[in-house]
Amino acid sequence: MRKRLHWFILLLGGVLGLLSCTPLPEQPNNTQPYALLVFPEEIRLVALDTQNVDPRARIKDIRVAPGPHRLRLTYAGRSLQHVGQQVDPICLETQAGHQYLFGTKTLGIIWRPVIETHALIPGYCTIHRCTEVETQIQPQLFVSQNFMCQPS
């Protein structure tokens, strides 16, 4: 009887654990225009626009529709004083066919996300029609690195 109760509790815990998982935000498919956000091991995506993401999930990359996006991120890197810190929401204007590779910068007691690489998605323009504007990289992303959202 105890063995049966033990298995029932394990099964119930597993089912409840699965039900508590938040699904990933909806992503554009291969035929739709998209941008790619790439996160290192040190960054966890907590929310994209208005949809929360399970912070236990390790999202390496996610496709987003071109345009403005609001991201909430948490630090999960090696710096123990920064682990679990969530920065203010950041806003990023994405372009179709572009990938944004995030990195981290620690500044004393706080950290902030930075875009280490902004490039075209390899092979994107062979599947999608790319305009001349879409194939240009904005160098100002590296100059300001200020992605704080404007108050609404």
* Predicted confidence (pLDDT) per residue in 80-90, tens digit: 888 888 888 99
With respect to residue 82, please indicate whether it lies within any of the assigned structural domains: yes
**Which tokens belong to 84?**
């679990």
**Number of domains the chain contains:** 1
- Is position 14 within any domain? no
The residue type at 101: L
Arithmetic mean of pLDDT over the chain: 81
pLDDT in tens, 98-141: 999 999 988 888 888 888 888 899 988 888 888 777 777 765 55
- Is 16 part of any domain? no
Do the Cβ atoms of 43 and 74 come closer than 8 Å? Answer: yes
Among 19, 87, 22, 26, CA closest to 54:
22
How far apart are the two ends of the chain, measured CA to CA in Å? 59
Instruction: For residue 107, give its domain range.
Output: 27-144
